[in-house]
Amino acid sequence: MSLTEDDLRAAIARELPGVRADLERLVRIPGIAFDGFDHSQVERSAEAVAELLRGCGLDVQIVRAGGQPAVIGHKPAPPGAPTVLLYAHHDVQPAGDPALWTSDPFEPVERDGRLYGRGAADDKAGVMAHVAALRAFGDQLPVGVVLFIEGEEEYGSDSLDELIETHKELLRSDVIVIADSGNWDIGVPALTTSLRGLVNCFVEVSTLQNAVHSGMFGGPVPDALTVLARLISTLHDEHGEVAVDGLVGREGASVDYPEERLRHEAGVLDGVRMVGNGRLTDRIWTKPAISVLGIDAPKTQEAANALVPRAKAKLSVRLAPGDDPASAYAAVRAHLEKFVPWGAHVEVTLESGGAPCVIDATGPAYDAARAAFTTAWDGVAPVDMGVGGSIPFIATFQELFPQAAILVTGVEDPFSGAHGPDESLHLGEFARVCLAEALLLRNVAGLGE
């Protein structure tokens, strides 16, 4: 006998205290996959996730492909029922400067209905939303499930393609739920239907064999920092539009993003103007963007009166849906090589890349998801939205499982602050997410009847 909506509401309410306690335990584990951090904590995080999945009655294994550990849990489908793959990741971003946090980033604290801590939203709450739905059903789960909890998403998912290929048959499913995005607003759910791609690269310029006296040689001899600054400035026109030939961009986002809301959510200072042209949603979702993430140069307090011989910057290029990482990188490299001033030497190297994606969110599985979201949010229908960030492996799922419906959901809201200080989870919205996932599994089960 299948559980009713009222049954699932009661079950989620019953399970939420335990789900929150387990979420807090996960947040206390600083599982950071970046180089230079204690990777035994990533192992510890994977073990904790595996224990949670075993507690849901799943057959569990910890797997790797040369990188950090992922966790796969599996429970076969009842006869005639579909199988749903539930994705999240258990690794987190580095916390950065602890002084910028109001409280310890790895000690979860509730303030004003939000749970603060690194990974509280991105993406340990995604892990726990899956666990909450499974616990709500207990031994009456109406679908087969495969939980795939990655361990190095924040570090670039370098081994993910190999993991998916190695375990392709185990991961094969009818519906894929990726809980690593967010909702449109507090009180307004969303399905993510497009994401930008990503190319991270380095540009290094050189003008001198060694540093030389700025008074003796400054004037005719260019320093590398000035060259780098002028080169970076060519990446945008006077309006802030990306000025690199060959990058794809388009318009047509279907949702308005009020500028006042964006300024508030991003923390833009008074008087700072938005850059670029067109609707804000186009600029964030469907057009390319180039940002300077860092520069290698002497610190101001340590800088001598000398011309800097070499300078290096890291660039982040967000790609519009429809672009290709390889051709985009080639376009950026060609631009930098063409516009480097004064004959300075320039070297451009690729760090990483990931493909953008567009999801055709039509069909029975998407109808089932929208119905679940509308019920969980008490009649508020979900918005179809784009995301300016990147989840490159979605394209891998699309390629390997072309018949599967891919649903990109998440627990974040515009104030979650993922990747920044004081990352947080809105606990009321989290409860709705958990209910929505349980309802989704029930609705999807009906598709196999």
Q: Which residues are catalytic?
A: 91, 153
> In angstroms, rounded to a whole number, what is the distance separating the alpha carbons of residues 282 and 279?
5
**Sign (positive/negative) of CA torsion 195, 42, 399, 405?**
negative
Do residues 113 and 416 lie in contact, with contact meaning Cβ atoms separated by under 8 Å?
no
Strand partners, 348: 203
DSSP state of 79: T
Burial annotation 299-312 (CB, 10 A radius, 16+ → b, else e)? eeeeeeebbbbbbb
> In angstroms, rounded to a whole number, what is the distance separating the alpha carbons of residues 235 and 247?
12
Structure tokens at 344: 């300075």
What does 290-347 look like in DSSP terms, one character per residue? EEEEEEE---GGG--SEE-SEEEEEEEEEEPTT--HHHHHHHHHHHHHHH-GGG-EEE
Do residues 151 and 48 lie in contact, with contact meaning Cβ atoms separated by under 8 Å?
no
> In angstroms, rounded to a whole number, what is the distance separating the alpha carbons of residues 193 and 191?
6
Backbone angles phi, psi at 295, to 5 degrees: -135, 130
> In angstroms, rounded to a whole number, what is the distance separating the alpha carbons of residues 90 and 47?
10
> In angstroms, rounded to a whole number, what is the distance separating the alpha carbons of residues 51 and 22?
11
> In angstroms, rounded to a whole number, what is the distance separating the alpha carbons of residues 445 and 449?
7
> In angstroms, rounded to a whole number, what is the distance separating the alpha carbons of residues 46 and 212?
51
Q: Is 204 exposed, middle or buried (0-12, 13-18, 19+ CB in 10 A)?
A: middle
Q: Is 420 exposed, middle or buried (0-12, 13-18, 19+ CB in 10 A)?
A: middle
